Structure 1
Amino acid sequence: MSINRDPNYGRLLANRYQLAELVGEGAMGRVYRAKDTVLGGVTVAIKFLSHALLNKNMRDRFEREATISALLGEKSIHVVRVKDYGIDENKISFYVMEYLSGESLNDVVAHQPLALSRFFTLARHICLGLESAHQGISFNGDLCKIIHRDIKPSNIIIVQDPTVGEVAKILDFGIAKLILANASQTQSFMGTLAYCSPEQMEGKELDSRSDIYSLGVMMYEMLTTDMPIMPQNSSFGGWYQAHHDFKPTPFSSKLQIPAKLQDLVFSCLAKKREERPQSVREILQTLETLQQKPQSSKKPEVKIQPKPSKSSKPSKDRKSNQEQTLKATPSITEICLQASWPKDKPLKKIVFARFIESPLGEIPVLSVMLDYGDILNRMSGVRYNQFLFLNYPHPMLLWITLLYSQEHGPRWLPCYLDLKSEKGQRISHALAEKGSYRILFFALNQPERCQHVTKSTINPENCRMLNQWADTGKMNKYAGTPNSAKKILRQELEKLKPKILLKIQAVTTNYSNDISG
């Protein structure tokens, strides 16, 4: 029996991306899951644009649209990031996106309406992504304002972020315009009929208010699972008539949708664009007014000792011995505070990893030297960590720690671990096992003793990868130099910094001060 196997399976694209299974297919192209072999097998999604896009005039336009989409992904965490793009040996255009494990909004609203609290959260995320696009991206000295042209639930993916929880992201910015501009027929149309604005159905020049109409259709569906208007038949002509002439169906009173929210949705669905909200910012302001924001304050951690049962009350001697043992055992923080700056390390602003001995065994720590004033400025800010692994040309881990305060800005603490060395492997395994690490701060003019200690937590997925990367480094037989690997990772860090800062700035006012990527 013959098996039809996808010829792209296992293919190495651009000498970097190893393709795996096909995960999606539509009018705009095919999407594959792949691994980035340059960055340690990080999973990515690769979209090949449809064959209909190919002609001699396409390359410049494709490069422009892909670059603008990539810049937009760096600007907003609510837009799926485009990481790379190119044209393969068959002259087929492709672009590389972050791979997101989540569900589409289409699946979420298929069976029941969203609860109002969840609606407000997701609608706000979508609006923030749209606002970033509508405001524009600077490209070659020009401000390029981006219209999506195909806003619908299947182009919204919802992922679970370890930092902020549920996050909505918008897919396929710029791609509808790319396809439409290359269409050979003068009467060509690109969009999804059920969500198209009246002016889009007419083939007019579009602006941000067309996306706002599509957003209105989608918000109605999020709140009801139904469409606000339905045609007499599903043809282009049927939908044309519906979007131009039919009034939206009123909300059912059973849904208990606030009147002001109903008014907002219907204003987005106005037939004339002059009667809709003129910017997404107007919609955001209304949503924020309607949304009841929970008061969040981080309470200090209180350790409560379990009460002994009445039937097993300890004797006075036993209780005394327990108290003496507890008093005699210093905490990890106390042990760290007694640490001094190693004599073999220069007295300068550097970051390095080491172990500290404690009653619980070896504790992985980052030792950091800064000005004393800078240390004080960072104690009340946000802590963030992320890890990047490079297997080739040399197994190297970039351990990124960021200290951020709204007043003093970011302080980056990058640390490189050579995973071909035994020490690097041990530290990587220890980070995975503990799920956290301490940061020890030393002042330039007082190196004899640690000035401050703080703890940073590592999310479970990163712990799993740290173990895997340490094992990979141990088996690695490449002969490249550590410095060449550090150079590549340093470049990746510079690309990541704006994205990390966007993420931090989006959550600093609502979440705790310990964040992991």
Structure 2
Amino acid sequence: MSDPNVGRLLSNRYQLQEIIGTGAMGRVYRAKDILLGGVPVAVKFLALSVQNNKMRLQERFEREAKTCALLGQKSIHVVRVMDYGVDANNTPFYVMEYLQGISLSDVIRKQHLTLPRFLSFIRQISLGLQSAHDGIMVDGKICPIIHRDIKPSNMLVIQDASFGELVKVLDFGIAKLLQADSNYTNYYLGTLAYSSPEQMDGKELDNRSDIYSLGVMMFEMLTGKMPLVAPTHSFGAWYKTHHQKAPRSFSEAAPTLQLPNEVQNLVMGCLAKAPGDRPQSVGEILKILTSLEQNDIAHTQNSGVSASASGSLFVPPTIKSDFEQKPKLDSTITPSNHEITPQLCWPQNKPIANIVFPHPIRLQGELIPALWIMLPQEEIQKRLVCTRYNQFLFITTPHPMLLWISLLYNRKYGPKWLPYYLDLKTNIGQEIARLLAEKGFYRLLFFARETPNNCSKMLLSTIASGQRQRLQEWVTISNTSASPCEPQLSKSLLKTEYENLKPQILAKLEALDTDLPFDLSA
């Protein structure tokens, strides 16, 4: 029997096309936003009605929906809510970004997670949770958000051309909203196998309840089994199990599994019965995960996985990359650069300050991509002998935005980060991205603040073939995608990911026992 909602036009804007998911908390449809030219979206109808206590529930729903919408603008690891409302049948709905991916529950069922992949997934999930637990500013007040239903089926793993395996957390706030519906007061809301003891008690929850559920999920991700098993799937049986039964050990659940003690201690700490005995914040968990990932990098390097002409380097867990090492094309500057650099003058419309911006230059009649950089002369001298790294990160929604990362690394003086954000809905942004993809390299033009009139040094950085291909794809995507939101939202999301990525990039570079000048590109 066909679904009666298919073909329905919701709010004179969203045309429902097919049902793509059902669950205890509602139904999800793929739809197209006809106001934005048919852009695909996901519409979730919640399993409640605002018919009873209509005003109170509707106000509650709108408040929760508004908070969740703001949360999606804060973290790339939270599914983005773009719209919400109540239909003609008094059923609340969310409109979310449409994501094609696989549920983490399917990943666990079909595959064994390696330790690096596990650490990557949990770090991404933890970043999403941290942004929620830290709170969202709503009407002048900080509102912490507790998920209340952390489990693998609420985690979506998508393949992203920029970030590789990107994990997003679904359904923030829905369990709390359903608790306000009188039709649900006689039902337990949450998932019994993942619920904390205090959640089973019906107590007011804080972030440590989500941390317990995260511990259950981490154990399952590593072993394929649950840490706690109730004799029957009843509330009473699970209540007793979560309160009284100790979680089984890793050696019992998976005798052949080899795990660092730090991983086992982290998971078991999260599974403590008393909230005060668990990690007190997701920030504590992230510190442990960062340390584990850096140790894993060092172990990989010490095992003989290092830079080679045909090989690859450590791939940061959030990034699907094809790192390449190429012989450096210029030792510092080529002979022709001696003739070129005096001709390049600092633009009059740019301040004499520490800034970075892209602007193509013409060399021998050919247009070449270039990054213009102004720094103190001493700072420039420190970076002439360096490892050069570049990486491009891109997100489509809420606005097509590209982050162009350049890094000059010297073991003695450390890193010099040179980021720039390109709006790929603008002509200049698209032109620069196309040029980078076409040429496969770019010039770094250095101007000293003390003598700003002419270019003092010129270096070159090459771009990996995989990144070149993706740059061209991103330009095409940006041409066809709609952008109902301000570019600043995407810039903020990318900035957060950039800060999270920095330690991983540095750990990789620091593991290289060299100061020789060569290129690394992702």
Same fold (TM over 0.5): yes
2:214 aligns with 215
1:4 aligns with 2
Quote the RMSD (CA, aligned, Å): 5.0
Q: Is the Cα–Cα contact under 8 Å of residues 383 and 456 in structure 1 kept in the other structure?
A: no
Q: Indicate which of 272, 275, 278 corresponds to 2:277.
A: 275
For residues 7 and 268 of structure 2, the distance between their equivalents in structure 1, rounded to whole angstroms, comes to 47
- Counterparts of 1:58-457 in structure 2 under 5 Å? 58-88=57-87, 91-111=90-110, 113-251=112-250, 252=252, 253-290=255-292, 292-295=295-298, 347=349, 365=369, 384=392, 386=394, 411-412=420-421, 414=423, 417=426, 434=438, 438=442, 452=458
* TM superposition shift of 1:495: 2.0
For residues 357 and 36 of structure 1, the distance between their equivalents in structure 2, rounded to whole angstroms, comes to 46
Q: Is the Cα–Cα contact under 8 Å of residues 156 and 170 in structure 2 kept in the other structure?
A: yes
For residues 66 and 420 of structure 2, the distance between their equivalents in structure 1, rounded to whole angstroms, comes to 29
Question: Taking structure 1 as reference, are residues 388 and 240 closer, same or farther at Cα in structure 2, changes over 3 Å only?
Answer: closer
* TM superposition shift of 1:138: 2.6
Q: Deviations over 1:222-254 (max 9, x none)?
A: 122111222222122222222223332233233
Q: Indicate which of 459, 464, 472 corresponds to 1:463.
A: 472
Higher mean C-alpha deviation, range 433-442 or range 58-67: 433-442
For residues 310 and 116 of structure 2, the distance between their equivalents in structure 1, rounded to whole angstroms, comes to 32
Q: SS of the counterpart of 2:503?
A: coil
Q: Is the Cα–Cα contact under 8 Å of residues 194 and 239 in structure 1 kept in the other structure?
A: yes
- State the AA in 2 paired with 1:62: F
Question: Taking structure 1 as reference, are residues 32 and 218 closer, same or farther at Cα in structure 2, changes over 3 Å only?
Answer: same
Question: Taking structure 1 as reference, are residues 467 and 80 closer, same or farther at Cα in structure 2, changes over 3 Å only?
Answer: closer
1:21 aligns with 18
Question: Taking structure 1 as reference, are residues 191 and 414 closer, same or farther at Cα in structure 2, changes over 3 Å only?
Answer: closer
Q: Name stretches of at least 5 consecutive residues in structure 1 with no aligned partner.
A: 305-330, 391-395, 474-484
Q: Name stretches of at least 5 consecutive residues in structure 2 with no aligned partner.
A: 312-333, 409-414, 510-518
For residues 240 and 433 of structure 2, the distance between their equivalents in structure 1, rounded to whole angstroms, comes to 63
2:30 aligns with 33
Pairs aligned (count): 461
For residues 288 and 46 of structure 1, the distance between their equivalents in structure 2, rounded to whole angstroms, comes to 35
For residues 426 and 181 of structure 2, the distance between their equivalents in structure 1, rounded to whole angstroms, comes to 48
* TM superposition shift of 1:384: 4.1
- State the AA in 2 paired with 1:131: Q
* TM superposition shift of 1:150: 0.4
Q: Is the Cα–Cα contact under 8 Å of residues 217 and 228 in structure 1 kept in the other structure?
A: yes
For residues 450 and 36 of structure 1, the distance between their equivalents in structure 2, rounded to whole angstroms, comes to 52
Q: SS of the counterpart of 2:102?
A: strand
For residues 378 and 143 of structure 1, the distance between their equivalents in structure 2, rounded to whole angstroms, comes to 43
1:477 aligns with none
- State the AA in 2 paired with 1:24: G
For residues 185 and 446 of structure 1, the distance between their equivalents in structure 2, rounded to whole angstroms, comes to 69
Q: Deviations over 1:402-456 (max 9, x none)?
A: 779987886545476569xxxx99x599559738574786979978989757668
Question: Taking structure 1 as reference, are residues 131 and 119 closer, same or farther at Cα in structure 2, changes over 3 Å only?
Answer: same
- State the AA in 2 paired with 1:510: Q
- State the AA in 2 paired with 1:202: D
* TM superposition shift of 1:221: 1.1
Question: Taking structure 1 as reference, are residues 193 and 432 closer, same or farther at Cα in structure 2, changes over 3 Å only?
Answer: same
Higher mean C-alpha deviation, range 272-281 or range 441-450: 441-450
Q: SS of the counterpart of 2:157?
A: strand
- State the AA in 2 paired with 1:58: L
For residues 263 and 451 of structure 1, the distance between their equivalents in structure 2, rounded to whole angstroms, comes to 51
Question: Taking structure 1 as reference, are residues 256 and 67 closer, same or farther at Cα in structure 2, changes over 3 Å only?
Answer: same
Q: Is the Cα–Cα contact under 8 Å of residues 8 and 19 in structure 1 kept in the other structure?
A: yes
1:492 aligns with 486
Higher mean C-alpha deviation, range 232-241 or range 28-37: 28-37
Question: Taking structure 1 as reference, are residues 194 and 184 closer, same or farther at Cα in structure 2, changes over 3 Å only?
Answer: same
Question: Taking structure 1 as reference, are residues 408 and 265 closer, same or farther at Cα in structure 2, changes over 3 Å only?
Answer: closer
2:516 aligns with none
Query: Identity of counterpart residues, as a percentage?
Result: 39
- State the AA in 1 paired with 2:475: L
Q: Is the Cα–Cα contact under 8 Å of residues 86 and 95 in structure 1 kept in the other structure?
A: yes
Q: Is the Cα–Cα contact under 8 Å of residues 128 and 168 in structure 2 kept in the other structure?
A: yes
- State the AA in 2 paired with 1:294: I
Q: SS of the counterpart of 1:503?
A: helix
Q: Is the Cα–Cα contact under 8 Å of residues 441 and 452 in structure 1 kept in the other structure?
A: yes
* TM superposition shift of 1:176: 1.1
- State the AA in 2 paired with 1:189: Y
Q: SS of the counterpart of 2:256?
A: helix
Question: Taking structure 1 as reference, are residues 41 and 431 closer, same or farther at Cα in structure 2, changes over 3 Å only?
Answer: farther
For residues 397 and 154 of structure 2, the distance between their equivalents in structure 1, rounded to whole angstroms, comes to 31
For residues 386 and 336 of structure 1, the distance between their equivalents in structure 2, rounded to whole angstroms, comes to 36
Q: SS of the counterpart of 1:249?
A: coil
For residues 403 and 204 of structure 2, the distance between their equivalents in structure 1, rounded to whole angstroms, comes to 45
Q: SS of the counterpart of 2:209?
A: helix
For residues 469 and 335 of structure 1, the distance between their equivalents in structure 2, rounded to whole angstroms, comes to 38
2:329 aligns with none
1:46 aligns with 43
TM-score, with length taken from structure 2: 0.69
* TM superposition shift of 1:200: 1.4
For residues 53 and 159 of structure 1, the distance between their equivalents in structure 2, rounded to whole angstroms, comes to 33
Question: Taking structure 1 as reference, are residues 198 and 388 closer, same or farther at Cα in structure 2, changes over 3 Å only?
Answer: closer
- State the AA in 2 paired with 1:66: A
Q: SS of the counterpart of 2:246?
A: coil
1:318 aligns with none
Q: SS of the counterpart of 2:229?
A: coil
For residues 25 and 208 of structure 1, the distance between their equivalents in structure 2, rounded to whole angstroms, comes to 27
2:320 aligns with none
Q: Is the Cα–Cα contact under 8 Å of residues 353 and 365 in structure 1 kept in the other structure?
A: yes
- State the AA in 1 paired with 2:218: M
